[in-house]
């Protein structure tokens, strides 16, 4: 797993930015990161699943705002390029891989980054 992705573990959600993507700012002791979700995603919360797509339907991201101040317990990078964040309260956020476009990007303060490109190909530096 890329260092930039693994570094999300233990971070708390501190802010959201919505434009043609959803950017989630995260912070922990000594590090800050952002997760930009350009494609579709899923939020599993209280027994239900909400699908969202920031570009196609900006209002669909509203349930994700409930993650403000939630702490990432676990991070999983699937073979297909999907990125899942499990939170202390039991919620799960999944940035789905896309066949034709960049689906998500993680950027750490200090330069480390990772992204899921078309066809689920994950690259990092």
Tens digits of residue pLDDT in 3-17: 999 999 999 999 999
Read off the DSSP letter of residue 109: T
Q: Write out the residue range of the structural domain in which residue 89 sits.
A: 3-124
Q: Is 110 a residue whose pLDDT tops 90?
A: no
The per-residue pLDDT for range 32-51, each reduced to its tens digit, is: 999 999 999 999 998 899 99
Q: Is 124 helix (H, G, I), strand (E, B) or coil?
A: strand
Residue 88 is predicted with a pLDDT of 96
Give the burial string for 18-40 (b: 16+ CB within 10 Å, else e): eeebbbbebbbeeeebbbbbbbb
List, for residues 54-77, the tens digit of each pLDDT value: 999 999 999 999 999 999 999 999
Q: With bands split at pLDDT 50, 70 and 90, how would you rate the model's confidence at 1?
A: confident
Tally of domains within the chain: 1
- DSSP characters over 48-83: EEEEEBTTTBGGGGGGGGGGTT-BEEEEEE-TTS-E
pTM of the model: 0.96
pLDDT per residue as tens digits for the range 22-36: 999 999 998 999 999
């Amino acid at each position: 797993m890329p260092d930039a992705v693994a570094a999300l573990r233990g971070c708390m959600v501190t802010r959201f930015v919505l434009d043609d993507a959803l950017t989630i700012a995260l912070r922990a002791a000594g590090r800050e990161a952002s997760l930009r979700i350009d494609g579709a995603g899923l939020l599993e919360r209280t027994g239900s699943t909400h699908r969202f797509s920031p570009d196609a339907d900006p209002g669909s991201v509203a349930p994700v705002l409930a993650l403000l101040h939630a702490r990432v317990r676990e991070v999983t990078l699937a073979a297909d390029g999907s990125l899942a964040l499990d939170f202390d309260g039991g919620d799960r956020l999944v940035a789905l891989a896309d066949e034709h476009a960049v689906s998500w990007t993680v950027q750490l303060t200090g330069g480390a980054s990772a992204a899921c490109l078309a066809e689920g190909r994950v690259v990092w530096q």
